[in-house]
């Protein structure tokens, strides 16, 4: 059956974004607000979002930049964080706590090396009905094996806290997909557009593309296929989180290039193309507008967004950042909501 040239979907959510801080924040937040009703905002700022005061002022900063965007807030779990702090963060409006292993990604020098050091915090996250979001990579493991090597910790956390809801963020490997699908319903995963569509060949197979460098790194064709199959299957345990992570061009085109893909401007057009090419455009709405909200226990967004088959070229730079697929022609466009 020929796919339609336009579809209207319920306003989508992005359950994993980095909006940064300071003067750059407003451009990134406004880009998000053009397409998404709600975004789950990651807390790896400097300093991190780890107290009620920091959470409230970060949310206020986002709100003033983009009042029509609902910022769903997270905090960064600190080693030794106590239950009272988690409760106060919940009272301040946090939906989730983010687990960053030590040193595995941007601003994780204060991360967790010993899961035992956060058991109190995780117990409180469970008790308060919050979600545990995990950057699932094992420090010190070989780069392509870091996600797989973390999976025993994921299983251990799921077993130790029988009511805890857990999201394995940016699932990037076949082993990660398999683990999420095998664990109970209360364990889900976010999927980015770059892990769904790209592999190491795109990153380093020809000339190095620093703008596709991220953590976890994009992996093999077999890993990508496992992600694609599970998403096309319409599995409700996998939902959209872009991990849109802008860095200024100079920080990416550098001898010590930062990890992070600025996916926000192109994530919906790329996803529309992915589903449409496989005759499955009717599945995109569940992936971007329903499964994530259901997992988080949020009502569906009001309003809608149109995705239209229309050619356009991705700008080479937006707000000083080179977006994913810069300069490439897109077959689909997301109209502003
Ligand atoms: O590539 C990444 N960039 N992965 C992360 O986990 C963090 C992000 C960032 O903040 O730049
Ligand atoms: Zn991230």
| CATH code of the domain covering residue 96 | 3.20.20.140
Share of the chain above pLDDT 90, in %: 99
74 has a pLDDT exceeding 90: yes
Distance 167 CA to ligand 2 centre (A): 12
Say what the pLDDT of residue 228 is. Answer: 98
Say what the pLDDT of residue 298 is. Answer: 98
For 222, the token pair is 């077999």
Q: Is residue 323 part of a domain?
A: yes
78 has a pLDDT exceeding 70: yes
Q: Is residue 327 part of a domain?
A: yes
Ligand 1, closest atom to CA 42? 10
Nearest ligand, measured from the Cα of 14 = 2
Q: Are 235 and 214 in contact (CB under 8 A)?
A: no
Q: For 44-173, where are the alpha helices, taking DSSP H only?
A: 52-65, 83-91, 119-127, 146-160
Q: For atom 8 of ligand 1, which residue has the closest CA?
A: 260
Neighbours of 243 (CB within 10 A): 29
Distance 17 CA to ligand 2 centre (A): 6
Q: Among 76, 215, 248, 256, which residue has the most ligand 1 atoms within 8 Å of its CB, making it the best to mutate?
A: 215
pLDDT in tens, 116-130: 999 999 999 999 999
- Cis amide bond preceding 152, omega within 30: no
Say what the pLDDT of residue 95 is. Answer: 98
Which among 172, 88, 67, 161 is positioned nearest to 118, based on CA atoms? Answer: 161
Say what the pLDDT of residue 3 is. Answer: 79
Nearest ligand, measured from the Cα of 41 = 2
Residues with a known catalytic role? 243
- The answer to whether the pTM exceeds 0.85 is yes
Summarize the confidence of residues 303-328 as an average pLDDT.
98
Give the chain's domain count.
1
- 270-275-277 Cα angle (round to 5): 90
Ligand 1, closest atom to CA 169? 6
Q: Is residue 264 part of a domain?
A: yes
pLDDT in tens, 181-203: 999 999 999 999 999 999 999 99
Residues with CB under 6 Å of ligand 1 are 18, 44, 105-106, 135, 214-215, 245, 259-260
pLDDT in tens, 36-59: 999 999 999 999 999 999 999 999
Q: Is residue 165 part of a domain?
A: yes
335 has a pLDDT exceeding 80: yes
Ligand 1, closest atom to CA 259? 1
CA dihedral in degrees (86, 245, 32, 317; nearest 10)? Answer: 160
Structural domain of residue 170, as residue ranges? 6-334
Q: For atom 7 of ligand 1, which residue has the closest CA?
A: 106
Q: Is residue 1 part of a domain?
A: no
Say what the pLDDT of residue 2 is. Answer: 72
Q: Among 15, 18, 76, 262, which residue has the most ligand 1 atoms within 8 Å of its CB, making it the best to mutate?
A: 18
- 295-299-300 Cα angle (round to 5): 95
Summarize the confidence of residues 161-185 as an average pLDDT.
99
**Sheet of 6-10: strands edge to edge?**
6-10, 304-313, 329-334
Nearest ligand, measured from the Cα of 39 = 2
Summarize the confidence of residues 143-161 as an average pLDDT.
98
1 has a pLDDT exceeding 80: no
Share of the chain above pLDDT 70, in %: 100
Q: Among 46, 108, 210, 214, which residue has the most ligand 1 atoms within 8 Å of its CB, making it the best to mutate?
A: 214
pLDDT in tens, 224-278: 999 999 999 999 999 999 999 999 999 999 999 999 999 999 999 999 999 999 9
């Amino acid at each position: 059956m020929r796919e339609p040239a336009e579809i209207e979907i319920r306003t989508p959510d992005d359950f994993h974004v980095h909006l940064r801080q300071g003067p750059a924040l407003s451009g990134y937040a406004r880009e998000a607000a053009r397409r998404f009703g709600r975004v789950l905002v990651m807390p790896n700022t400097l300093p991190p979002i780890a107290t009620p005061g920091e959470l409230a002022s970060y949310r206020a900063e986002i709100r003033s930049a983009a009042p029509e965007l609902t910022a769903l807030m997270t905090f960064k779990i600190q080693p030794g964080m106590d239950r009272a702090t988690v409760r106060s963060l919940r009272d301040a409006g946090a939906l989730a706590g983010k687990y960053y292993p030590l040193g595995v990604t941007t601003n994780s020098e204060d991360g967790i090396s010993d899961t035992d050091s956060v058991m109190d915090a995780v117990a409180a996250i469970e008790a308060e009905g919050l979600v545990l979001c995990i950057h699932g990579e094992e420090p010190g493991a070989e780069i392509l094996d870091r996600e797989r090597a973390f999976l025993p910790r994921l299983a251990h956390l799921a077993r130790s806290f029988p009511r805890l809801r857990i999201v394995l963020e940016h699932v990037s490997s076949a082993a990660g997909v398999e683990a999420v699908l095998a664990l109970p319903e209360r364990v889900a995963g976010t999927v980015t557009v770059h892990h769904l569509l790209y592999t190491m060949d795109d990153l380093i197979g020809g000339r190095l593309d620093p703008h596709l460098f991220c953590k976890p790194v994009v992996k093999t064709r077999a890993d990508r296929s496992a992600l694609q199959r599970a998403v096309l299957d319409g599995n409700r345990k996998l939902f959209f989180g872009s991990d849109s992570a802008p860095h200024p061009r100079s920080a990416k085109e550098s001898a010590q290039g930062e990890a992070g893909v600025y996916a926000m401007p192109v994530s919906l057009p790329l996803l529309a193309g992915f589903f449409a090419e496989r005759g499955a455009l009717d599945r995109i709405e569940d992936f971007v507008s329903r499964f994530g909200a259901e997992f988080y226990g949020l009502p569906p967004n009001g309003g809608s967004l149109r995705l239209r088959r229309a050619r356009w070229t991705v700008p080479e730079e937006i707000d000083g950042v080179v977006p994913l697929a810069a300069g490439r022609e897109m077959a689909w466009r997301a109209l502003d909501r």
